[in-house]
Amino acid sequence: MTCGPSIAAIGVVQTICASGANASNVQPRGARGATPIKYTDSAGEDGDRARKIAAIEQLDAFVPELRALSPDVIAVSGDHATPSQMAAHSWHPVPTIVWSERCGRDDVEQYGERWCRQGALGLRPTKDLMALLLANASRLQKYGA
Protein backbone atom coordinates (compact mmCIF):
# COMPACT_ATOMS: atom_id res chain seq x y z
CA MET A 1 0.00 0.00 0.00
CA THR A 2 1.76 3.14 -1.19
CA CYS A 3 0.60 6.67 -1.76
CA GLY A 4 2.41 7.88 -4.84
CA PRO A 5 2.68 11.39 -6.26
CA SER A 6 -0.30 10.81 -8.54
CA ILE A 7 -2.68 11.41 -5.62
CA ALA A 8 -3.39 15.14 -5.43
CA ALA A 9 -5.06 15.83 -2.10
CA ILE A 10 -5.85 19.48 -1.51
CA GLY A 11 -6.50 20.35 2.09
CA VAL A 12 -7.95 23.60 3.43
CA VAL A 13 -8.60 25.47 0.18
CA GLN A 14 -6.35 28.62 -0.26
CA THR A 15 -2.59 29.22 -0.67
CA ILE A 16 -2.15 28.02 -4.23
CA CYS A 17 -4.05 30.77 -6.00
CA ALA A 18 -3.30 33.56 -3.55
CA SER A 19 0.43 32.88 -3.85
CA GLY A 20 0.31 33.01 -7.66
CA ALA A 21 1.12 29.30 -7.89
CA ASN A 22 -0.11 27.19 -10.74
CA ALA A 23 -0.25 23.47 -11.40
CA SER A 24 3.29 23.42 -12.78
CA ASN A 25 4.93 25.02 -9.75
CA VAL A 26 2.98 23.62 -6.80
CA GLN A 27 5.28 21.64 -4.56
CA PRO A 28 3.46 19.19 -2.26
CA ARG A 29 4.19 19.50 1.45
CA GLY A 30 3.46 17.15 4.31
CA ALA A 31 1.92 13.84 3.27
CA ARG A 32 3.03 12.81 -0.19
CA GLY A 33 0.91 14.55 -2.78
CA ALA A 34 -1.02 16.67 -0.25
CA THR A 35 -0.97 20.43 -0.66
CA PRO A 36 -2.28 22.23 2.42
CA ILE A 37 -3.76 25.64 1.75
CA LYS A 38 -4.41 28.25 4.45
CA TYR A 39 -6.22 31.33 3.09
CA THR A 40 -9.83 30.15 3.45
CA ASP A 41 -9.11 29.24 7.06
CA SER A 42 -7.56 32.66 7.73
CA ALA A 43 -10.52 34.43 6.12
CA GLY A 44 -12.94 32.39 8.23
CA GLU A 45 -11.00 33.19 11.41
CA ASP A 46 -11.16 36.89 10.49
CA GLY A 47 -14.92 36.64 9.91
CA ASP A 48 -14.37 37.82 6.32
CA ARG A 49 -17.00 35.92 4.34
CA ALA A 50 -16.31 37.74 1.07
CA ARG A 51 -12.57 36.95 1.26
CA LYS A 52 -13.31 33.31 2.08
CA ILE A 53 -15.66 33.01 -0.91
CA ALA A 54 -13.04 34.65 -3.16
CA ALA A 55 -10.37 32.18 -1.98
CA ILE A 56 -12.64 29.22 -2.70
CA GLU A 57 -13.48 30.66 -6.13
CA GLN A 58 -9.74 30.95 -6.86
CA LEU A 59 -9.33 27.27 -6.08
CA ASP A 60 -12.29 26.45 -8.34
CA ALA A 61 -10.50 28.21 -11.19
CA PHE A 62 -7.34 26.16 -10.44
CA VAL A 63 -9.04 22.75 -10.69
CA PRO A 64 -8.76 22.44 -14.52
CA GLU A 65 -4.98 22.95 -14.26
CA LEU A 66 -4.82 20.34 -11.52
CA ARG A 67 -6.89 17.88 -13.56
CA ALA A 68 -4.56 18.46 -16.54
CA LEU A 69 -1.80 16.84 -14.44
CA SER A 70 -3.83 13.58 -14.67
CA PRO A 71 -3.83 12.66 -10.98
CA ASP A 72 -5.51 9.41 -9.95
CA VAL A 73 -7.48 11.19 -7.22
CA ILE A 74 -8.31 14.76 -6.25
CA ALA A 75 -9.80 15.45 -2.81
CA VAL A 76 -10.85 18.83 -1.51
CA SER A 77 -11.49 18.98 2.22
CA GLY A 78 -10.19 20.59 5.38
CA ASP A 79 -8.93 19.73 8.85
CA HIS A 80 -11.76 21.62 10.57
CA ALA A 81 -14.61 24.00 9.83
CA THR A 82 -14.03 27.75 10.17
CA PRO A 83 -17.37 29.47 9.54
CA SER A 84 -16.94 33.17 8.86
CA GLN A 85 -20.04 33.90 10.98
CA MET A 86 -18.20 32.46 14.01
CA ALA A 87 -14.76 33.85 13.15
CA ALA A 88 -13.29 30.72 14.78
CA HIS A 89 -12.73 27.02 14.31
CA SER A 90 -15.86 24.98 14.94
CA TRP A 91 -17.24 21.51 15.47
CA HIS A 92 -19.28 21.52 12.24
CA PRO A 93 -18.80 18.78 9.64
CA VAL A 94 -16.17 19.57 7.01
CA PRO A 95 -17.32 19.18 3.40
CA THR A 96 -15.24 16.84 1.30
CA ILE A 97 -15.29 16.17 -2.42
CA VAL A 98 -13.44 13.32 -4.10
CA TRP A 99 -12.84 12.97 -7.81
CA SER A 100 -11.37 9.95 -9.56
CA GLU A 101 -12.17 7.80 -12.56
CA ARG A 102 -13.31 5.12 -10.09
CA CYS A 103 -15.32 7.00 -7.46
CA GLY A 104 -18.68 7.06 -9.19
CA ARG A 105 -21.06 10.00 -9.18
CA ASP A 106 -23.86 11.22 -6.97
CA ASP A 107 -26.56 13.84 -7.49
CA VAL A 108 -24.80 16.65 -5.57
CA GLU A 109 -23.90 19.58 -7.82
CA GLN A 110 -22.73 22.13 -5.20
CA TYR A 111 -19.87 22.07 -2.71
CA GLY A 112 -20.58 23.07 0.87
CA GLU A 113 -21.61 21.71 4.25
CA ARG A 114 -25.32 21.48 3.40
CA TRP A 115 -24.82 19.74 0.06
CA CYS A 116 -21.90 17.45 0.84
CA ARG A 117 -23.65 15.67 3.70
CA GLN A 118 -26.24 14.54 1.10
CA GLY A 119 -23.59 13.09 -1.22
CA ALA A 120 -22.23 9.58 -1.63
CA LEU A 121 -19.55 10.16 1.04
CA GLY A 122 -22.21 11.19 3.56
CA LEU A 123 -21.00 12.02 7.05
CA ARG A 124 -17.93 9.98 7.91
CA PRO A 125 -14.87 10.46 10.11
CA THR A 126 -11.97 12.16 8.36
CA LYS A 127 -9.71 9.34 9.60
CA ASP A 128 -11.37 7.17 6.93
CA LEU A 129 -10.50 9.55 4.09
CA MET A 130 -6.99 8.31 3.24
CA ALA A 131 -8.15 4.70 2.79
CA LEU A 132 -10.93 5.97 0.53
CA LEU A 133 -8.46 8.01 -1.54
CA LEU A 134 -6.06 5.09 -1.85
CA ALA A 135 -8.93 2.81 -2.93
CA ASN A 136 -9.99 5.33 -5.58
CA ALA A 137 -6.41 5.40 -6.85
CA SER A 138 -6.35 1.56 -7.01
CA ARG A 139 -3.55 1.57 -4.44
CA LEU A 140 -5.13 -0.94 -2.05
CA GLN A 141 -5.14 -4.67 -2.58
CA LYS A 142 -8.40 -4.95 -0.67
CA TYR A 143 -10.59 -2.14 0.73
CA GLY A 144 -11.88 -2.58 4.28
CA ALA A 145 -9.57 -5.44 5.21
pLDDT of residue 86: 92
- With respect to residue 99, please indicate whether it lies within any of the assigned structural domains: yes
pLDDT of residue 33: 56
pTM score, whole prediction: 0.70
By the 8 A CB rule, do 77 and 95 touch?
Answer: yes
pLDDT of residue 126: 79
Task: State which residues form the domain around 84.
Answer: 7-136
- With respect to residue 142, please indicate whether it lies within any of the assigned structural domains: no
pLDDT of residue 46: 93
Total domain count, the chain: 1
- With respect to residue 76, please indicate whether it lies within any of the assigned structural domains: yes
- With respect to residue 143, please indicate whether it lies within any of the assigned structural domains: no
CATH number assigned to the domain comprising residue 50: 3.40.720.10
pLDDT of residue 14: 32
Going by C-beta distance under 8 Å and a sequence separation of 6 or more, which residues neighbour residue 23?
A: 62, 65, 66, 68, 69
Query: Which stretches of the chain drop beneath a pLDDT of 50?
Result: 1-32
- With respect to residue 115, please indicate whether it lies within any of the assigned structural domains: yes
